[in-house]
Amino acid sequence: MTPASRKGEATGARRAGAALSGGLLWVAFLPLPVPGAIQVALVLVALVPWIVVTEGLTPGRAARSGAVLGAVFWGLHLGWMLLLATRIGEAWPVFAWAGEVALLCLLWAGMGAGRAILRERGVPSVVAVAVAWVAVEWVRGALLGPLRFPWTGVALPLTRVPLLLQPAAWGGEAALALAVVAGNGLVAEAVLGRGRGSGVRAGMRVLALLAVWTTVGVLRLAWDEGREVERARVTVVQPDVPLAVRRGDGAGDRALETLRLGLAAARRETSQLVIFPETHLPFAVDAGGEAAEGLPDRGVAPLPAGVLDEMVAWVREEGRDLVVGGYLRDSRGVMNAGLRIDAEGLAGAYGKQALVPGVEWSPGGGLVRGSNPRPLDAPGRPGMLICIESAWGSLALARARAGAGWLLNVTNDAWLAETPGSLGGAAFGQHPWHLALRSVETGLGAVRVGNDGWSGTTDPMGRWVPALPAHTAGVATVRVSSLPGPTLFVRWGGWLGPLCGLLVAGAWILRRRPAPA
């Protein structure tokens, strides 16, 4: 075999290993009807082929292998964006998918290079790959401005086994990601098995990591379980309005119809607060409470006359507040908002901060971002997260530090999966998993209200309790409880991701410095 053919074979093996890891990682994220332990086991070994075949590479070659891993994983993982194009009959989601995957491939190329640079500085392989991975997850979630995209970090499948989530109460999602990738690195060391007995020693390290991990989970559960304090009893309304109706000419009429049906059904429930999902009302109100005038920049019609009065009359009669998803206009423009209605009218609102590029925001205009992390002045002081904001650990952390007593996530996932088993079902199932991480990190119980699901609660240990079946209209009353005090992550957390980023950047800077004369 010639040197050229050997080089080509090695390159092919590296690409195959990276592609295999990308495919395995994608499967680990699918909401499959299998025991959670199986998916956790899969995510703990998914990266092993890539780590094995790329060990010892130069930064340039490691970057190319990281890009292959990213292309396969993200190309498959974000396939629901292509589904959206067929749902709405427009081409822009295809370009959005291609742009997002390209950006993430670039980041994952940086992750591969960062791992190789750390190895050049003498950092052990297990530590290098874990630090580089967490650094890239931090960059994509914190440093890309309006293109930030923290959706589905590598630790997300752990939500299937809440015991393994508990270290997040101390170190956040980044600590879990560090453990997941380090576990893959240890398994890769066992596979490589360089030297007599090295495979056995690496296997023992894997077992030691799992033992420490589960011990932390057991200790946290033993310390905090049973200490929860009930914050509120809330009624969730799941209207299940189909995507075709929400995008059609009769969307406003159907929204008002389901608003009245939901309020009528909620009369039979005993609760302190009634909640409708994100943008349930496709109308805007002024920040002062009156119906907003025409909004040609977004085509959002003003709230029809008398509707606000109907909601206020209901609140006065029932003695319970409402939180309804809709639009709010202030001096800056129109925002996606959660509107709190009390006996006097519009009593408060939360404007969405993390806007979806191409859908809610574009360089030419769109919705404006909210800026207020303070909780709503409603029973238990809920801190709101609208739709994909549940993927932002930093936003939930801000809510907790601002004094929220529980988390409220309102969303509309109708465009992801209107029927069980549809192609968008992967993202539809993954979305609630993020809220479990946010609850463990902050110690705050959470309520999720979706247009067609999933609606339910998570407790401070990250356990999900469904309130209503998906794709079904209905109302249900749930209790939400939180820990009596902040977690360690709320007190001191949020530093692990930046630290990993600084380590990789420092190693790169030292590598680029010229050697002394």
Q: Could you tell me if residue 471 is inside a domain?
A: yes
Predicted confidence at residue 293, as pLDDT, reads 57
Helices (H), 152-290: 168-192, 198-224, 243-246, 251-266
Q: Are residues 372 and 250 in the same domain?
A: yes
Query: Helices (H) and strands (E) in the chain — how many of each?
Result: 16, 15
What is the distance, to the nearest Å, from the Cα of residue 382 to the centroid of all Cα atoms in its chain? Answer: 19
Q: Is 333 left (phi over 0), alpha (psi -120 to 50) or beta?
A: left
How far is residue 74 from each of residues 46, 77, 131, 326, 434, measured CA to CA in Å? 14, 5, 20, 32, 18
Q: Could you tell me if residue 488 is inside a domain?
A: no
Q: Are residues 184 and 285 in the same domain?
A: no
Q: Are residues 156 and 83 in the same domain?
A: yes
Q: Are residues 362 and 426 in the same domain?
A: yes
Q: Are residues 20 and 110 in the same domain?
A: yes
Q: Could you tell me if residue 2 is inside a domain?
A: no
Integer Cα distance of 441 and 460 in angstroms: 8
Predicted confidence at residue 341, as pLDDT, reads 96
Q: Are residues 211 and 62 in the same domain?
A: yes
Across-strand partners of 335?
A: 328
Q: Are residues 236 and 221 in the same domain?
A: no
Predicted confidence at residue 297, as pLDDT, reads 47
Both tokens of 174, joined, read 């980044």
Q: Could you tell me if residue 1 is inside a domain?
A: no
One-letter amino acid at 282 equals P
What is the distance, to the nearest Å, from the Cα of residue 138 to the centroid of all Cα atoms in its chain? Answer: 13
Q: Are residues 195 and 242 in the same domain?
A: no
One-letter amino acid at 356 equals V
Q: Are residues 305 and 170 in the same domain?
A: no
Q: Are residues 405 and 291 in the same domain?
A: yes
Please answer whether residues 298 and 367 qualify as being in contact, where contact means their C-beta atoms are separated by less than 8 angstroms.
yes
Predicted confidence at residue 517, as pLDDT, reads 46
Q: Could you tell me if residue 218 is inside a domain?
A: yes
Q: Could you tell me if residue 208 is inside a domain?
A: yes
- Total structural domains in the chain? 2
Q: Which residues of the chain have pLDDT under 70?
A: 1-10, 87-88, 194-199, 289-299, 364, 415, 417-425, 512-517
Predicted confidence at residue 424, as pLDDT, reads 52
Predicted confidence at residue 298, as pLDDT, reads 58
Predicted confidence at residue 514, as pLDDT, reads 56
Q: Could you tell me if residue 15 is inside a domain?
A: yes
Residue span of the structural domain in which 240 resides? 229-483
Predicted confidence at residue 201, as pLDDT, reads 78
How far is residue 203 from each of residues 21, 185, 196, 410, measured CA to CA in Å? 20, 11, 13, 44
Q: Could you tell me if residue 106 is inside a domain?
A: yes
Q: Are residues 149 and 175 in the same domain?
A: yes
Give pTM, 2 decimals.
Answer: 0.93
Both tokens of 306, joined, read 């008398």
| CATH number where 260 lies | 3.60.110.10
Q: Are residues 249 and 106 in the same domain?
A: no
- Measure the CA dihedral 175/178/184/188, to 10°: -140
